[in-house]
Amino acid sequence: MAPVLAAVGVDGRVHTTAAAVALLHQAQAGNLDAFAALYEGYRDLIGRYTCVRTGDRDTAEDLIHDTFTDALIELPRADDDVVGWLLRLASRACTRHLWSQRRHRRAGHELREHPRPPQAEGQPQHIALVAAMLAHAPLTDSQRQAVQLRLAGYPRERAATAMARTPEAVRCLERRAIATLCTTSAGMR
């Protein structure tokens, strides 16, 4: 039976258990199975938190990945409040995501309000249109990055390496991004 990693206190908040602290110390000592147990134990909590913050389940899945990637990086500096530590990392991931969405919307608005002068002969004009579509589309950061890398000429394998994902994961991100772009453009007609 798996150890209980989180307990709900009388105040209704999730608290760290001694088993979670023990797993954290084992993970800090280099035990990958302990980190995997922390991931399994807190994945749902982080998923609920990120889903509430962003309002999007697909984005929440990507933010769970980002949170635990940050957790691996920050593992040596983690404190014994495992729940608080992971929620702080999830909060940072959500904030980065929300700020990047704002930047993309602002860039799209700038392109719409202040279009660039016509390009010289031989330069493709469709790049500006694609950039505007990407800026306005409700894509996750990972979907946007996958599409941008592919448009920049990266082969899928190289894009997967740049994103630290598998080629199959990048293909799925591209497909979801294209489906989102299609539904977004259909709604604009």
Q: What is the pLDDT of residues 80-95, one digit of tens each?
A: 999 999 999 999 999 9
Question: Is residue 17 classed as helix, strand or coil in its secondary structure?
Answer: coil
DSSP codes of every residue in 32-78: HHHHHHHHHHHHHHHHHHHHHHHS-HHHHHHHHHHHHHHHHHHGGG-
Q: Which domains does the chain have, with CATH numbers?
A: 1-102 (1.10.1740.10), 121-189 (1.10.10.10)
Q: Are 66 and 47 in contact (CB under 8 A)?
A: no
pLDDT one-digit tens code per residue, 92-150: 999 999 898 888 888 777 777 766 655 555 445 555 556 656 666 777 888 878 877 87
If pLDDT is split at 50, 70 and 90, which confidence band does 1 have?
A: very low
In the chain, % of residues over pLDDT 90:
36
pLDDT at 163: 87
Instruction: Please provide the size of the chain in residues.
Output: 189
Residue 27: CB atoms within 10 Å: 22
Global pTM reads: 0.56
